[in-house]
Each structure stands twice: as structure tokens, then as C-alpha cells.
């Protein structure tokens, strides 16, 4: 039984615009397109709209929402504005394939479906950058974002004594949110290297033009300090130890080796675009040195290298939730123009404010990106025994051996070592493999390449695949 939102929607075979992802990007885009009379379907695998940042917005108890801060509350406007527009919103719907002909494979419950669209907007957001370190596969080590999901969606928080480690705004935000919920954080280990301060300094004056971001970060820091939460800066050599579960985390701080006992370590190393669908469709990507990730090649409207496929929001490159809203609207206007519903002049006029925002936002990004730059050494997994591929349990040493044998491309390494061939399809190891291959071969990351994307991007059973093509299998 497809679990759609509200009264069950009969999914049409074809839409003018299909938007994948109901976060700030997709919700804002849906509103703009629907307001112009575009026939829109909005698909998301989550049970309710909001995306990562505004998760559980419609069902969260007010007291819990209050602990999450104003940025979370801002989402209420976006979600309620979306609810007033006329689109086929398909919740609990996972997209498992997309190709250059804009054929889209969906899964509702156990039921697969194929639909088509004239225009597709990928608004599938970001994921946390997986950075393998010794012990990261132990139970009790989780992503900080995972901790935040438990908090936002379910009101579940860590027992006292949790340790947070890594680098990036989300880590600080989570510490601040936990502090409000009364969670006793044992330590916040900041792995941002001191040299990043110098690296970011030249970009500070320009960043001051977008100082609301900086002000927020400083408030979080001040509040944490006032609450007496121990923050250790310039930490390195993170290591989780334990037998069947983490029992302690060790690290280097001020030239000394230290260790803290804990049953829960939440880690975060920034965000990277969620690229599985766009890669499967064949969209062109390029390596972005500043964001330390691959980004799709896009024009100012979010049009990708494939006709009729647009990408916007954090899936296009990390710009944050406010930017995602504007980017979603820009891409929706472009799609509406491409459908012949508005002309170029209208598109340009209607997008003035959004384009201005996108332009102004460029001021802050170089500063944030250099401040939170993850050291290359960490990304290329220095310890040979560290597991890189969580699914197939392939270590950094095995990957380096493959490179030493002359395999200087991520895809060759994959076929040789099985790294990236498990159920997560390389989502957790592709970046690390690219870094290891590049570092071992003395090349730039862009040269070592990325795993080729292939549908289905989610494991389907043979029965599910067969049900899509009954005449061929009968």
C-alpha cells in the first residue's frame, strides 16, 4: 500500500516537472512552479516535508522545537506555504533511478513504478562527509547528523557524557542544541587545525558583508563557553577504541596524547552533495577544491549538463538552507521558462531577489570553506588498518596496495578490492578512496576520479524489477 501524504494520490505516468526532495529547495521550487500552473510532482522518501534541516516540522512538539533554535523555526513558513499549493506530493517515495531521458524509477513501499517528466529538479540535498578514522565502524560511533535526527524527529538525546568531535558548523549547532536540552556533553573535540584561521583570514573582510552567519556562530560558541562545556581546539589523531562497542576516544591535543572514556562519540566533518541520482543519470561533475567535493556542472539557473535536468540546493554544492530556498526558486523559474509557460523577461524579472541573494551569499562561502577546510592528511586515511569501505570491510592499506600495483583510478580499485560494492554502493567510501588514490599516486583528487554511478541507486529485488517489465519476463 503506497503510503502517500493525505488522501492517496494516484500517481500519473507523466508530469511537466518532477522535483526530487522536499527540503527547503524542493518545497520552495514546488511553490513557485505550482503558482505558475505547472503540473508538479514532489517526491521524497521521508514521511513528511522539511528535508534535513526542517525535519519533523509538522509533528514536532512545541517544547522540542523550542530547543532547536530560530533557524529551525524559520522552516514553519516554508512548509506551510508549500501546503497551500497544488502539487502531487508523494511522501515515503524513494527514487531509485533517473536517466538522461528523464525516466524516473520510484519505490512506494514494496511497489516500484516508472514515471517521466519534461523537467526534473534534483533537490536531494547533502550528506555528511564520511571520513574514515581508526574505530569509526564501532557501535557507539555515529554521525553528528544522526544524533540530530534522533533529537528532531524523536526527542531522543544522548545520555550524559557524550563526546562530539570533528569540524564544521553543524557540530557546533548540535552541541548548542544538546546544551539547551540539558544533555551533559563531556567534551567537544574541534579538529579544525589552527592553520585554518590563517588560511581564512584574508577572506574575512568579504565575509563580514554577510555577517549574520558569523554572528550566529559566535553566539553558539559564547553560550557553550558560558555553560562550561569543555571545548578542545586543534585536536588531531582521533581514534575510537573498544571491543564490541566504543569505550574510549583518544586523540592528540597540545602535543600530548589523551584519552576520554565514553559510550557515544558523534562525529562530523562537513557536508557533501548527495550525488547518486545525478551521477546515475550521467550529469557531468567537477572537483571543487574549496568545498573539497565533487559538484555537478551547472549554470546560474541550476541546469545540468543534461537537457531538462536541474540541480539546486545543497545537492548542487553546499550553500546552506537559506540559499537552498532561493536556489530552488531560481530553478523552478527556469523549468517554468523551459516549459514555455513564462518568457525569458518574466523569468529574469521574477528571479531578481533570488539572484541577488545568491550573489551576496558568495561573500561568506570562501571564508567558511577555508575556515572549515578538512586537512588532506585526514581525508586520505593515513592509518593502513582503518576500514574505508564499511560494507565490504576494505582497509586503507589494501587500497594503497592496489594503487602500488598500478591501479590509479577509483573504479579500478573498486573492481580489484570490492571497495564500494556493498549495499551502500560506495556512498560512504567514494570520497575517501579518491583521496587515498590521489595521495598514493601523487596526483590531484580530480584525476583519480569517482565511482561511476549506475542505477538502481537503491537495492531492488529481482521481483521488484521484474514487476516493472511484465511482458519481458512472462
Partner 1 sequence: MFKRLDENPAATVTVTIDGVQFNVPAGETVAAAVLASGFGHTRTTVVSGAPRAPFCLMGVCYECLMVIDGKPNQRACRELVNDGMKIECQHATGRL
Ligand X SMILES: Cc1cc2nc3c(=O)[nH]c(=O)nc-3n(C[C@H](O)[C@@H](O)[C@H](O)COP(=O)(O)OP(=O)(O)OC[C@H]3O[C@@H](n4cnc5c(N)ncnc54)[C@H](O)[C@@H]3O)c2cc1C
CA nearest neighbour of 382 among 397, 393, 392: 397
Q: How far is the CB of 126 from ligand X (least distance, A)?
A: 4
Q: Cis before residue 456, ω within 30 degrees of 0? A: yes
What mask of x and - would describe binding to ligand X in positions 126 to 165, judged by CB under 6 A? xxx----------------x--xx----------------
110-129 residues in contact with ligand X (CB under 6 A) are: 123-128
226-265 residues in contact with partner 1 (CB under 8 A) are: 244-245, 263-264
Residue 179 · residue 224 · CB < 8 Å: yes
Q: Does 104 bind ligand X (CB under 6 A)?
A: no
- The smaller minimum CB distance to ligand X, of residues 271 and 330, is found at 271
- The smaller minimum CB distance to ligand X, of residues 128 and 431, is found at 128
- What are the angstrom distances between the C-alpha of 462 and each of 22, 103, 347, 363, 474? 29, 19, 44, 49, 14
What mask of x and - would describe binding to ligand X in positions 245 to 264, judged by CB under 6 A? --------------------
Range in contact with ligand X (rule: CB under 6 A) among 43-51, 247-255, 335-343, 407-415: 43-51
Range in contact with ligand X (rule: CB under 6 A) among 45-53, 298-306, 377-385, 465-473: 45-53
Residue 437 · residue 410 · CB < 8 Å: yes
Give the residue carrying C-alpha cell 505516468: 13
| Ramachandran bin of 33, using left for φ above 0, alpha for ψ from -120 to 50, beta for the remaining angles | alpha
Q: Of ligand X, partner 1, none, which one sits near residue 26, judging by CB under 5 to 8 A according to partner kind?
A: ligand X
Rounded-to-integer distance, Cα 464 and Cα 46, Å = 21
Per DSSP, the three-state class of 465 is helix
Q: How far is the CB of 194 from ligand X (least distance, A)?
A: 25
Rounded-to-integer distance, Cα 145 and Cα 471, Å = 44
Q: How far is the CB of 265 from ligand X (least distance, A)?
A: 16
Q: How far is the CB of 316 from ligand X (least distance, A)?
A: 8
For residue 311, give every residue at least 6 positions away whose Cβ sits within 8 Å of its Cβ, in sequence order, or none. 121, 122, 123, 278, 283, 296, 298, 302, 304, 331
What mask of x and - would describe binding to partner 1 in positions 361 to 400, judged by CB under 8 A? -----------------------------xxxx-------
Range in contact with partner 1 (rule: CB under 8 A) among 59-67, 81-89, 301-309, 360-368: 59-67
Report CA torsion sign: 407, 412, 418, 424: positive
Residue 174 · residue 147 · CB < 8 Å: yes
Q: How far is the CB of 167 from ligand X (least distance, A)?
A: 15
Q: Classify each residue of 433-446 as buried b or exposed e, where b means 16 or more C-beta atoms within 10 Å of its C-beta.
A: bbbbbbbbbeeebe
Identify the residue among 99, 116, 137, 247 touching partner 1 (CB under 8 A). Answer: 137
Identify the residue among 9, 113, 149, 401 touching partner 1 (CB under 8 A). Answer: 149
Identify the residue among 154, 211, 222, 444 touching partner 1 (CB under 8 A). Answer: 154
6-25 residues in contact with ligand X (CB under 6 A) are: 20-25
Rounded-to-integer distance, Cα 377 and Cα 363, Å = 28
DSSP assignment string, 103-129: EEEEEETTEEEEEEEEEEEE---EEEP
- The smaller minimum CB distance to ligand X, of residues 251 and 269, is found at 269
Range in contact with partner 1 (rule: CB under 8 A) among 80-88, 141-149, 205-213, 341-349: 141-149
Q: Does 449 bind ligand X (CB under 6 A)?
A: no
Residue 169 · residue 369 · CB < 8 Å: no
Range in contact with ligand X (rule: CB under 6 A) among 6-14, 47-55, 377-385, 462-470: 47-55
Q: Does 456 bind ligand X (CB under 6 A)?
A: no
Rounded-to-integer distance, Cα 103 and Cα 99, Å = 6
Q: Could you give the angle at the alpha carbon of 108 between the alpha carbons of 107 and 111, nearest 5°? A: 75
Q: Does 274 bind ligand X (CB under 6 A)?
A: yes
Residue ranges in contact with ligand X by CB under 6 A: 20-26, 43-46, 51-53, 71, 94-95, 123-128, 145, 148-149, 170, 173, 271, 274, 277, 313-315, 320-321, 324
Q: Which residues bind partner 1 (CB under 8 A)?
A: 45, 47, 52, 59, 61, 63-64, 127-128, 130, 137, 139-143, 145-146, 149-150, 153-159, 181, 244-245, 263-264, 274, 390-393, 422-424, 427-428, 459
Amino acid at each position: 500500500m503506497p503510503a502517500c501524504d493525505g488522501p492517496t494520490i494516484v500517481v500519473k505516468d507523466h508530469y511537466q516537472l518532477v522535483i526530487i526532495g522536499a527540503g527547503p529547495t524542493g518545497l520552495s521550487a514546488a511553490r513557485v512552479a505550482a503558482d505558475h500552473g505547472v503540473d508538479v510532482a514532489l517526491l521524497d522518501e521521508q514521511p513528511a516535508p522539511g528535508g534535513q534541516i526542517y525535519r519533523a516540522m509538522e509533528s514536532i512538539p512545541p517544547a522540542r522545537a523550542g530547543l532547536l533554535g530560530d533557524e529551525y523555526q524559520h522552516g514553519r513558513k516554508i512548509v506551510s506555504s508549500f501546503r497551500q499549493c497544488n502539487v502531487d506530493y508523494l511522501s515515503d517515495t524513494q527514487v531509485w533511478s533517473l536517466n538522461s531521458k528523464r525516466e524516473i524509477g520510484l519505490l512506494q513501499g514494496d511497489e516500484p513504478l516508472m514515471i517521466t517528466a519534461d523537467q526534473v529538479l534534483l533537490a536531494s540535498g547533502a550528506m555528511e562527509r564520511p571520513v574514515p578514522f581508526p574505530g569509526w565502524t564501532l557501535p557507539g560511533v555515529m554521525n553528528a547528523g544522526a544524533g540530530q535526527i534522533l533529537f528532531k524527529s524523536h526527542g531522543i538525546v544522548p545520555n550524559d557524557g557524550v563526546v562530539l568531535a570533528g569540524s564544521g558548523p553543524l557540530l557546533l549547532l548540535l552541541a548548542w542544541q544538546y546544551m539547551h536540552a540539558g544533555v551533559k556533553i563531556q567534551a567537544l573535540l574541534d579538529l579544525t587545525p589552527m592553520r585554518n584561521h590563517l588560511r581564512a583570514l584574508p577572506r574575512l573582510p568579504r565575509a563580514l558583508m554577510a555577517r549574520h552567519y558569523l554572528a550566529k556562530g559566535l553566539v553558539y560558541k559564547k553560550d557553550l563557553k558560558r555553560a562550561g562545556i569543555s571545548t578542545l581546539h586543534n585536536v588531531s589523531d582521533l581514534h575510537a577504541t573498544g571491543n564490541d562497542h566504543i569505550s574510549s576516544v583518544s586523540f592528540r591535543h597540545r602535543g600530548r596524547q589523551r584519552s576520554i572514556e565514553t559510550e557515544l562519540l558523534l562525529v562530523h566533518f562537513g557536508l557533501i552533495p548527495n550525488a547518486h541520482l545525478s551521477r546515475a543519470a550521467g550529469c557531468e561533475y567537477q572537483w571543487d577544491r574549496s568545498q573539497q567535493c565533487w559538484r555537478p556542472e551547472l549554470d546560474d539557473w541550476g541546469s545540468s549538463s543534461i537537457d531538462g535536468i536541474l540541480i539546486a540546493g545543497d545537492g548542487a554544492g553546499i550553500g546552506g538552507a537559506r540559499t537552498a530556498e532561493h536556489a530552488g526558486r531560481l530553478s523552478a523559474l527556469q523549468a517554468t521558462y523551459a516549459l514555455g509557460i513564462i518568457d525569458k523577461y518574466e523569468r529574469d524579472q521574477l528571479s531578481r531577489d533570488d539572484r541577488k541573494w545568491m550573489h551576496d551569499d558568495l561573500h561568506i562561502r570562501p571564508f567558511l570553506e577555508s575556515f572549515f577546510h578538512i586537512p588532506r592528511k585526514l581525508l586520505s586515511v593515513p592509518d593502513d588498518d582503518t576500514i574505508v569501505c564499511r560494507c565490504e570491510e576494505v582497509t586503507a592499506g589494501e587500497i594503497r596496495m592496489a594503487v602500488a600495483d598500478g591501479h590509479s583510478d577509483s573504479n579500478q580499485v573498486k573492481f580489484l578490492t570490492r571497495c564500494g560494492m556493498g549495499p551502500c554502493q560506495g556512498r560512504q567510501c567514494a570520497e575517501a578512496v579518491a583521496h587515498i588514490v590521489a595521495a598514493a599516486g601523487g596526483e590531484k583528487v580530480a584525476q583519480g576520479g569517482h565511482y561511476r554511478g549506475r542505477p538502481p541507486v537503491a537495492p531492488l529485488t529481482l521481483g521488484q524489477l521484474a514487476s516493472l517489465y511484465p511482458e519481458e519476463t512472462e
